[in-house]
Amino acid sequence: MKTTQIVLSALGMAAMLVAGSSLAQDKKNITLPESNYQAGGSPLANEPMYQATNPKAPPMTQAEFDKARQIYFERCAGCHGVLRKGATGKPLTPDITQTKGTDYLKVFIAYGSPAGMPNWQTSGEMTEEEVDLMARYIQHDPPTPPEFGMADMKATWKVIVPPEQRPKKKMNNYNISNIFSTTLRDTGEVALIDGDTKKIINIVKTGYAVHISRLSASGRYLYVIGRDGKINMIDLWMEKPDNVAEIRIGLEARSVDTSKYKGYEDKFAIAGAYWPPQYVIMKGDTLEPLKIVSTRGNTVDTQEYHPEPRVASIVASHFKPEFVVNVKETGQTLMVDYSNIDALKVTSIGTARFLHDGGWDSTKRYFLVAANQSNKIVAVDAKEGKLVKLIDVGQIPHPGRGANFVHPKYGPVWATGHLGDETIALIGTDPVKHKANAWKMVQSLKGQGGGSLFIKTHPKSHHLYVDTPLNPDPKISQSVAVFDIRNLDKGYTVLPIAEWAGIKDDGAKRVVQPEFNKSGDEVWFSVWSAKNKESAIVVVDDKTLKLKAVIKDPRLITPTGHFNVHNTQHDVY
């Protein structure tokens, strides 16, 4: 019997029970949807990094180290962090891993743990050789990706069409306010789709895996940011809307927005990076980088220094010339005053760790953001510049931008679904007329299951749509739950969106991100399969909950998020 097999036999059961060890998550168990969500590939996988020599670590050749580094950034960095200091998962630094030893680590990686560590070998995701490789790799000093400063940014900055050469008026007949920007995740593109005719206007080259699309205050310019840190600025006034400027603001990123306060419309853009941990303020018409600010600092709870606090969501305040910047690992919400960027004023509000995504309440005064691994929603008052409340919700909230509606009993509420359980949390948002219900979870609805990424309604709709694309059950991931806001207690109706798409092959057909059209009478869904499988967009009549249209095109490869121009511009959700 091989030594490895003996060790696996002897330690296998122990490894399955290490929830209390220094390698296991000490919070609630991480669900399969959450581990799938966090384990997405990082653009840092292909960045060159230096291999430090650690005499206490097991030997590795340069080729082995480079292969392991790529696997780590493709599979592990989302949970354990770029520098292995810990994020959703626990730290994997040499002072911890070397005391465990290679054989122990191989068991842990192969079999996983009840606390959420995936079983990489027994699931077939890694071979025995790759498990051995990773067990040795995490005993070495973590390589640090390169920084990305002003010179790096300017080297990537391109003004394709200067402002003075752009149209002076709208040069097309499109109903711009009803255009949809749909992410084609694996091709590095967005599809601009005419919401009236359901025809593709243009396929625009962008960064890899565009995370969000945002609009300038005027509604003319569309800004998209890829996970590789590339921003593309698209002019919707052109005869065929297309790129007019681009820049890369880091090596990995998620967020972008533009100045919205009166007098500053379209003047500035801002983007936040996962690596390096920083945000960048740019000119709104050309993307010229003006100011870089690091987010490295201390955590809100233990006050420990964190070298890798990633910038999550960013929104533009409607009450002041400020950007609301949420820093994930430190739990700091930054109110960045852009009225004088040469003397930048930043108010740091300690909230809760693991800040992620969120949206405005119906008045656009209060920003509600998920602190996902803290199982809380944070409410921040953008007018007063202060924390309002930390609100306990379900396991791993993931609202997208959330959903605002008037509850028949509790008044105005904002809603979020969850990655970790099947609940939908409704939070009261009116501290004036419904003070007793404000800033608390007034109701918890039961949906189809965990794995929800987005929830959506519209002021003209009486329906609330909840997707579950990361649920392991295909029946749930390929459909959506719809609640009648007028009678939430009756439960939900299931719409078989993937089935309506009429896709014949065996793709995953995950249904993701409900998005209304401008008039609020249609809801669009992406039916998302692998890049070598057919995907589609399904349009549902909101009044009847019946199929209205299916958009298919060979160019619609891995469609995921989509953003209606009007609703995104005016924060309608």
Catalytic residues: 76, 79-80, 117, 356, 398
Please tell me the distance from the alpha carbon of residue 418 to that of residue 372, in angstroms, as a whole number: 9
CA atoms within 13 A on the CB side of 254: 20
What is the rounded CA–CA span in Å between residue 104 and residue 11? Answer: 7
Burial of 486 (0-12, 13-18, 19+ CB in 10 A): exposed
Contact between 393 and 443 under an 8 Å Cβ cutoff? The reply is no
Residue 13 CB burial class (10 angstroms; 0-12, 13-18, ≥19): exposed
Backbone angles phi, psi at 63, to 5 degrees: -65, -40
Token pair of 342, please?
A: 């040469």
Contact 205, 188 (CB under 8 A): yes
Beta-carbon count within 10 A of 361 CB: 21
* Angle formed by the axes of helices 128-137 and 102-111, nearest 10°: 130
Smallest CA-to-CA distance from 265 within 573, 569, 571, 572 is with: 569
CB contact at 8 A, 426 and 441 = yes
- What is the rounded CA–CA span in Å between residue 235 and residue 485? 37
Two tokens at 437?
A: 């219900």
Residue 66's Cβ-count burial label (10 Å; 0-12, 13-18, 19+) is middle
Spatial strand order in the sheet of 322-327: 311-316, 322-327, 332-337, 345-350
Element (H, E) at 306: strand 305-306
Q: The tokens 């050749």 sit on which residue?
A: 61
Asked whether 411 and 351 are in contact (CB, 8 A), the reply is no
* Distance between CA atoms of residues 182 and 58, nearest Å: 46
* Count of CB atoms situated within 10 Å of the CB of 205: 13
Do 463 and 483 meet the contact criterion of CB atoms below 8 Å apart? yes
Closest to 52 (Cα-Cα) out of 142, 145, 139, 136: 142
Q: Dmax of the chain from CA atoms? A: 77
